[in-house]
Amino acid sequence: MTRNILVVEKILSANDRIAAENRAIFDASGIKAFNLMASPGAGKTSLIEQTIKRLLPTLNLAVIDGDIATNIDADRAAAAGAIAVQINTGGECHLDAIMINSALKQMNLQDIEVIIVENVGNLVCPASFQLGTHKSVLIASIPEGDDKPYKYPGMYRGVDALVINKIDLLPYVPFNMEYFRKGVEILNPGLETFPLSCKTGEGLDSWIQWIKIHAQA
């Protein structure tokens, strides 16, 4: 068991070293990078599509898409007009800094101002792996239920912003926003939140404002 823990620690510290390298690459190229995390189906790709649509006229945007399998998400990002690179992790439940490093080597960085990394759909594993991005964003989704901050605290603790997607479904599912927000506030006091619907467009303006500010910081 000790041996196992030592190996895991070694992997994490190797990851942190490459994450620092990635950050240096971003900074040298004048790129701001965002790590987008969520459960499967919370709306990462939909939010990226909406963000591309609204940012692309003024900012050059690229997407690095992480998935166990398929190019579905990168294809959607590319169809929306962004440069898109797909990483298939095989069985891994998260992206790591080495995967991002490899993806960066395939990209023409001087043409890019913003990179959005779409992590593997998972509310546990991605929280443990720094990628070198400047900001981490979590997407919660109304139909997932209001108890998720309490049950997945690691993920809620470590992020810089929280998108609450699919608010158009609020009339159809049980979701106590006060209980949800109380859990978030305990884990991550003062966290900026963006309730919105990628489907109807409601609330997207504030999110776009936030990403613009941090893209140009």
Chain positions contacting a second copy, by CB under 8 A? 3-4, 7, 11, 39-41, 67-70, 72-73, 91-93, 120-125, 128, 141, 143-145, 147-148, 150-154, 166, 168-169, 172-174, 199
Side-chain half-sphere of 118: how many Cα atoms within 13 Å?
33
Beta carbon nearer to a second copy, 11 or 24 = 11
Inter-residue long-range contacts of 80-86, CB under 8 Å, 24+ positions, other chains counted: 80/48, 80/49, 80/52, 80/53, 80/56, 81/52, 81/53, 81/56, 82/48, 82/52, 82/56, 83/107, 83/108, 83/111, 83/112
**Residue 59 or 191 with smaller CB distance to a second copy:** 191
CB-CB contact of 49 with 65 (8 Å) = no
Instruction: Please say which residue, 141 or 188, places its beta carbon nearer to a second copy.
Output: 141
Please state the closest distance from residue 155 (CB atom) to a second copy, in A.
9
Q: Closest distance between a second copy and the C-beta of residue 198, in Å?
A: 11
For residue 125, the minimal CB distance to a second copy (Å) is 5
Shortest distance (Å) from residue 29 CB to a second copy: 29
